[in-house]
Structure 1
Amino acid sequence: MSNQQPHAESAALIERAKRVTPGGINSTSRTQMMEDRQGNPVCFEEASGAELVDRSGNRYVDYNNGWGPIILGHCDPDVNEAVAQATAKRDIVGMSTSELEVRAAELVAERVPSADKVQFGTTGSEVVAHAIRTARAVTGREKIIKFQGNYHGWYDPVALNYISEPENLGQHDLITTGMLPEATEETIVLPYNDLAAVEAAFEEHGDDIAGVILEPVAHDMGCVPPVDGYLQGLRDVTDDHGALLIFDEIITGFRHGMGGVQEREGVEPDLTTMAKAVANGYPVSLLCGKDEYMRQFGPGARGGSVYFAGTYNAHTGGMAAVVETITQLEERNVHERFEEVRTTLTDAIRDHLADAGVEGFVQEYGGVFATYFGEGPVTKYRDLLDLDDEKFTEYRWEMIDRGILMVSKFPRANLLNASLTDEQVQETIDAAGEAIRAVSE
C-alpha cells in the first residue's frame, strides 16, 4: 500500500514544462523516474544528504543519486562552501590555467594509477569522444571494440548496443536516429566478460583495431563485475596487438575507491574517462592516462595533434568541487563506510529473499548493489534476458511506495550515498522485506 501523497503539483509543473521543453524534460534518461506507478508525473523540490522531497512533500531515501554524481550527499555543505568561496574570487577567464585546476589535476594524478596527465571536461560523452579519437590518432587505425550493455554516452561510434531487445543482439543496435551509417561501421560489438570473443576479434582485425573501451564494472546494465582474469586478459591482448585499452570509469571512478576499479583490480588502462562522482554533482569530467598518449593534447609546438577544447573546461566552480570532494572522501573514510553499509543491506536482502521463498539474488561491488529475480549470477548481457524483469520493476515500485527511491527501470543498480544514516539503512531493510513479500504473493 502506498504511503505517498498524490502528485498534482508535479503534474502541473510538467504541463507547464511541456510548453517550452520537448516532453517537459532536458535529458532522455529522466523519463525513467518522471512518473509514479499510476502514471502521474513526479518532480523533486528538495535534496539534502541522502533524502529527496517531491513537490507534494513526499520524502524518499535516495539510491539513484543523480545517476551517480552524488557520493558525499546532496547539497554537501563542505563542497558547496568551497565552490562559493572559489567563484566569489574568480569565475571564468578563458585563458591559461589557475592554481585550483592544477591542484585538482595533481590530486587525481596522485590517486588514479594510470593517470600521468589529466585533462578536464564537462560531460562524460565528450571525454569518451576524446579518448577514442586519441586511440585512433596514435595507432593510425580506425576500428574500436565496445561491449553489449556498456554505455558510453552520445558519441556516435559508441552510441549503440546499450539496452537491446533480444532480437537486436548480434547486430548494430543504435540508441538514436540521426546517425550516419558510417559512424558505426568501424565499431565491433562483443559480449562483455567474454575474453575469447575479444581474442578472436583481434585475430581477425588486429591490425585495424585502435582500441578497446569498456566499463570495467558494467553498471549501466546493473551491477556486473568483471570475471576473474578478464581485465588482465584485455590488457594482455591489447598490448600484444598495439591497441589502446580505455576504461570508462565515469560511474566507477571514486565510487569504488580513490583509484577506481583499476586500483581495486590491479589492471592499468592506457586511458581513463571519469565524471559523475569526481565532483559530487557539479558538472566535471576528465580524461587521464599515460603521458605518451595524453601529450597528444598539447597545443601547437608543445605537443600533439589531437584537439581538446571547451569553454567551460576546468571551470573554477568545478575544480573547487573536485578538490573538496577528494578531500572529504578521504577525511570521512567514505569507501570504508560503503563496504559496511552495502554488506549490511545486501545480507539483509538475501535473508528476506530466503525467508519469503523468492528466487532471487543480489550482485554487489564497492558502493553499488542490485537485487534481481531469477537464477544468477549475471556475467554478461544475455544473462539479463533470463531474469524476471517484471518482478524487478514491481519490487522497485513497492520500494518507492515505501519512500525508498530505487529507480524502477530494469536492470538499474542502486548507488550508495555517504550521508546515509543507520536509521535510513534500517528503513531500507524493513521496506525491502515488505516489498519482497509483496512481490511473492
Structure 2
Amino acid sequence: MVGERSKQAFERAKRVLVGGVNSPVRAFRAVGGTPYFADRGEGPYLYDIDGHRYIDYLMSWGPLIWGHAHPDIVRAIAETAARGTSFGVPTELETEMAEEIVELVPSVEKVRMVSSGTEATMSAIRLARAATGRTAIVKCIGCYHGHADSFLVKAGSGVAALGLPDSPGVPQSVAERTLTVPYNDADAMEKLFADRGDEIAAVILEPVAGNMGCVLPLPGYLEAVREITRRYGSLLIFDEVITGFRVGLGGAQARFGVLPDLTTFGKVIGAGLPVGAYGGRKDLMALVAPEGPVYQAGTLSGNPLAMAAGLTSLRMLKRAATEGAYDRLESYGRRLVEAFCQTASHCGLPATGHAIGGMFGLFFHSGPIVDFETAKACDQALYADFFHEMLAEGVAFAPAQLESGFMSMVHGEAEIEKTIEAMERAIPRIAARRR
C-alpha cells in the first residue's frame, strides 16, 4: 500500500513536473494507483519515503546489477567526484572503459561514449546510414530503442504501456523511413528485404526483447537476421542497452554467438549513472568525427563519474563471472518464473514467463510469448492487480506488464524465498476476486 507521504509527494510533483514524473512509465498509468517515492536503496532493497521496504526487481530498469548503493561503486564515485565532476577534455577513465568493452564484447573494436541509450541508438543509425548510403531502417514491432523520432514507430516499453499511438511530433517523412516487422519472424524480415533491401541501411534489434516484457529469440532467429542483412549489404545493429553485461559478460551476442556490425550500450556500464555507448568494427567507427565525416558530440560524454562507476561494475562482473555469478542470476530468475507459473496455474490463472541472465518476464497468458502481438494479448489488468498485491507484500516488480524484471548480484536465497512466499499468498487472493 502506497503511503501518505508518497501520495503527497506525487501531488506536489504534478504541479511542476509533466505528469508528476520525468519518464512516463514511472507514473504507474499501466497499473493504476500512485507511485511510491524512493528514499534510499541498500543492496536488493528499496525504501520509500513512507518507510516501506521492498525487495526490488526493478533495479532502476536494469543498471543496478550490483544492487543499490554498492560500497565499492559509491566509493569510486565519491573519490572521482572529489577530483572534479566534468572537464570537457579527455580523461584516462574513458579509455579504460573503452578497453573493457572492447575486451568483453566480441564484435566491438572501437567505442564512442555518449550520455544515454537513446543517444547511442540514434548515433548508430546515423552511422549506418552514412556507411551504406541508404536511408531506411528496420525495427521490430514492440521493440523500444529510445525516444528518437525514428524509433517511435510501433514502439514498446512505456509507449505501449500507456497505449500511445505512434508519437505526434514525428514527421511523416521520418516515419516512412522506419520499416517494421514482427520480432522473431525471420520470414517477414526476408520478405521485407526482398521488396526493399536496396533501401535498407540497417536492422536495429534487441537480441533479447526487453521492452515488451522479456521475450527470448526463437532458435535460429538471430542467425537468420544476420544472414539476411549480410546478403543485402545492410548493417545489423544489436541494441544491448538492456542485455549488455546483463545476460552474460559479453552480452547477448556472446551468449548466442551472433555478431552484429554495431552495438549500443547503456545501463550496466554506468552502474546507475547516465551513460551510453556505441561501438563496432574499426572501419565503421572510423567514419565518426573527428576521424570521419559523421558528426556526433556531447558535453558530458564519457563523464568521469559515470566512467568510474561503470568501470568498477564491469571489473567486479569479470571477477564474479569466473565464480558462476551469471548462472546463479539466471537460476534465481527461473525459480521466480516457475513459482509464478505454478502458483497461478494452481489458482486457475494463465501464466508463463522467461528468464535469461539477470532479466526475466512474468506474463498472465497461457503462452507462448514470442512477439509484441502475443505479449499484448496478456491480461494486463490481472498483472496490475498482481503488481499491487506484491507491493503490499513488500516486493516491487515493474509497474507495467510490458516491461522486464531485473535481478542483481546481491539478491540471495532469502530474497528469492520471500518473493516466492509472497506470490503464494498474493496470487490466490487475486484468483478469489476473479471467481
- TM-score clears 0.5: yes
- Rate the CA distance shift 1:92–1:367 in 2: closer, same or farther, 3 A: same
Cα distance in 1 for residues equivalent to 2:201 and 2:305: 35
Hey, what does 1:397 align to over in structure 2?
A: 388
1:416-435 equivalences under 5 Å are: 416-435=407-426
Match of 1:375 among 358, 366, 369: 366
Cα distance in 1 for residues equivalent to 2:56 and 2:295: 39
Q: For 1:145, what is the secondary structure of its paired residue? A: strand
- Residues 1:19 and 2:15 are matched in the alignment: yes
Question: Residue 362 of structure 1: CA displacement?
Answer: 2.0
Q: Which amino acid aligns with 2:194?
A: E
Which deviates further from its counterpart, 142-151 or 400-409?
A: 400-409
Match of 1:305 among 293, 302, 326: 293
Question: Residue 34 of structure 1: CA displacement?
Answer: 10
Hey, what does 1:54 align to over in structure 2?
A: 48
Q: Which amino acid aligns with 2:128?
A: A
Q: For 1:89, what is the secondary structure of its paired residue? A: coil
Question: Residue 251 of structure 1: CA displacement?
Answer: 0.6
Cα distance in 1 for residues equivalent to 2:219 and 2:165: 28
Question: Residue 173 of structure 1: CA displacement?
Answer: 4.6
Unaligned runs of 5+ in 2: none
Which deviates further from its counterpart, 79-88 or 184-193?
A: 79-88
- Residues 1:128 and 2:121 are matched in the alignment: yes
Cα distance in 2 for residues equivalent to 1:231 and 1:371: 23
Cα distance in 1 for residues equivalent to 2:193 and 2:165: 22
RMSD after superposition? 2.1
- Residues 1:415 and 2:406 are matched in the alignment: yes
8 Å Cα contact 1:34-1:42 kept in structure 2: no
- Rate the CA distance shift 1:256–1:111 in 2: closer, same or farther, 3 A: same
Cα distance in 2 for residues equivalent to 1:19 and 1:436: 36
- Residues 1:185 and 2:176 are matched in the alignment: yes
Question: Residue 328 of structure 1: CA displacement?
Answer: 1.4
Match of 1:248 among 232, 235, 239: 239
Q: For 2:287, what is the secondary structure of its paired residue? A: helix
1:209-248 equivalences under 5 Å are: 209-248=200-239
Q: For 1:297, what is the secondary structure of its paired residue? A: coil
Give deviations 1:338-388, integer Å, cap 9, x for gaps. 023223323333332343343322222221222222321111111124332
8 Å Cα contact 2:77-2:305 kept in structure 1: yes
Match of 2:335 among 344, 361, 366: 344
Match of 2:137 among 107, 127, 144: 144
Hey, what does 1:270 align to over in structure 2?
A: 261
Cα distance in 1 for residues equivalent to 2:175 and 2:19: 28
- Residues 1:71 and 2:71 are matched in the alignment: no
8 Å Cα contact 2:241-2:267 kept in structure 1: yes
- Rate the CA distance shift 1:60–1:34 in 2: closer, same or farther, 3 A: farther
8 Å Cα contact 2:213-2:362 kept in structure 1: no
Q: For 1:263, what is the secondary structure of its paired residue? A: helix
Q: Which amino acid aligns with 1:51?
A: Y
Hey, what does 1:327 align to over in structure 2?
A: 315
- Rate the CA distance shift 1:157–1:40 in 2: closer, same or farther, 3 A: closer
Q: Which amino acid aligns with 1:127?
A: A
Hey, what does 1:94 align to over in structure 2?
A: 88
Match of 2:271 among 255, 261, 280: 280
Q: For 2:286, what is the secondary structure of its paired residue? A: helix
Cα distance in 2 for residues equivalent to 1:404 and 1:357: 23
Hey, what does 1:406 align to over in structure 2?
A: 397
Hey, what does 2:79 align to over in structure 1?
A: 85
Which deviates further from its counterpart, 235-244 or 412-421?
A: 412-421
Q: Which amino acid aligns with 1:63?
A: Y
8 Å Cα contact 2:25-2:399 kept in structure 1: no
Which deviates further from its counterpart, 387-396 or 59-68?
A: 387-396
- Residues 1:194 and 2:188 are matched in the alignment: no
8 Å Cα contact 1:82-1:321 kept in structure 2: yes
8 Å Cα contact 2:58-2:398 kept in structure 1: yes
8 Å Cα contact 2:111-2:277 kept in structure 1: yes
Q: For 1:247, what is the secondary structure of its paired residue? A: strand
Match of 1:317 among 305, 312, 328: 305
Count of aligned residue pairs for this structure pair: 426
Give deviations 1:223-256, integer Å, cap 9, x for gaps. 1111111111111111111100000111111111
Q: Which amino acid aligns with 2:125?
A: I
Give TM-score, length-normalised by structure 2.
Answer: 0.93
Q: For 1:233, what is the secondary structure of its paired residue? A: helix
- Rate the CA distance shift 1:430–1:259 in 2: closer, same or farther, 3 A: same
8 Å Cα contact 1:247-1:271 kept in structure 2: yes
Give deviations 1:129-158, integer Å, cap 9, x for gaps. 110001100110011001101001111011
Question: Residue 41 of structure 1: CA displacement?
Answer: 4.5
Q: For 1:332, what is the secondary structure of its paired residue? A: helix
